[in-house]
Amino acid sequence: LNQDLLRRIEANDPNFDAVSIESEFIVELSYEQFDRFGHALANNTSINMIWLFVPETQENVDVTGWLCFLELIGGNRSITHFYYESASAAVKSLRVNSAMFLRRFFERNGALEFISLKIIDPDEAEAFASALASRETALESIRIDGANSIELLRLIFEKNPAAIPKQVRTRHIGNEGGEA
C-alpha cells in the first residue's frame, strides 16, 4: 500500500481530489490494508472523483478485503463522479459481488452526480439497477458501456422511473451508442 497516498487520503489533503484504484494495486493489499484504505476513503471529504477497476483475477486478491473495501467507501458522501470498469476477464462472481457491495455507495451518496459504468454481465446490470433505483434523487448523468447497457436502464425504469438519470449515454457492442 502506497503510504504517501494513504497519508494524503487520511489527512483530507485539499489538493488531492481524485483517486484511481487500479487492479494491479489491489492484488498487493492484505485485508487489514483494504480495511484501512476503505476507512480513509469513507471519511475523506476532499476527494470528489474515483476510478475503480475490478481485478481481472481472484488470484492473489484478498476477496473478502476487496468487498469490505467496497462496502466501506459507501460511507463517503462527497464523491460526485464515479467511474467503474469491470473487465471481461474478471471472474463472474467477483464482478457481480463487486456491484452488489457498491449498493450502499449508490443508495446513500446524495452528492453523486455522474457515474460511468463499463459492465459485462446481466447480473451486474441487475445489481447496479437495484442500487440506482433505490436512490432518493436521480443522477444528473450516467454513461454505460457494455452489452447490457439498455438492460440496466430498463431495469431501473421498471423499479423506479423517477430514478432514471437526466442525461443517459450508452455504448454497446455493435452500436455507436446514443444520447437521450
Grade residue 54 by pLDDT with cuts at 50, 70 and 90. Answer: confident
Q: Rounded distance, CA 99 to CA 90, Å?
A: 13
Q: Rounded distance, CA 64 to CA 105, Å?
A: 18
State residue 48's pLDDT score: 93
For the segment 144-160, the average pLDDT, to the nearest whole number, is 85
Cell of 169: 449515454
% the chain with pLDDT above 70: 92
Is pLDDT above 60 for 173? no
CA 166 to chain centre: 19
Cell of 79: 464523491
Q: Rounded distance, CA 18 to CA 36, Å?
A: 18
Average pLDDT for the chain: 84
Cell of 6: 494513504
Per-residue pLDDT tens over the stretch 92-139: 788 888 888 888 888 888 889 999 988 877 888 888 888 888 888 889
Single-letter code of the amino acid located at 177: G
